[in-house]
Amino acid sequence: MSHVKVELKPEQVTKIKEICKSFNNNPGELINVLHQTQGAFGYLPAEVQEVVAAELGIPVAKVYGVVTFYSFFTMLPKGKHPISVCTGTACYVRGAEKVLDEFKRILEVKVGESTPDGKFSLNCLRCVGACGLAPVVLVGDKVYGRVSPDGVKDILNEYAD
């Protein structure tokens, strides 16, 4: 868990409250609330979770429990261009590991980390279902198919601005 304290601006707090309200502050809708909140903020730091918990009338521990249970939710901000390497079985047998190693080597980050300038973050995901294009890499929403370790540099160069 990150120890950097996030100061929420009043309008951000209002935004979270609005999201909760759109689900009638119903604790049963916690996962939907978190989906929308993460959509608005990019990630779910502890301070955001506290507001959600207060609005839905449940303990923060419960919100934290849900956030940490599901891999879709993150408590760390993602990079400007989030990179996800598919490590599903089809991509694995077609060499996804080598592609991942190449990203790690060039970006000098581990899986789950962001580059110091916040430009790229590196993650793994399990199967986007484009197995015909294995191995697959996603940068943001863009899908790159049949990626080879040699092609990693070209992908990153597309985002060199």
Residues in touch with another protein (CB under 8 A): 26-32, 34-35, 65-66, 69-73, 87-90, 92-94, 98, 101, 105, 125-134, 136, 143, 145
Distance CA 46, CA 73 (A): 12
The Cα–Cα gap between 69 and 63 comes to 10
Least Cβ distance, residue 9 to another protein (angstroms)? 26
Nearer to another protein, 10 or 132 (CB): 132
- When the beta carbons of 46 and 133 are compared against another protein, the nearer one is 133
C-beta of 54 vs 131, nearer to another protein: 131
Minimum distance, C-beta of residue 5 to another protein, in the bound complex (Å)? 25
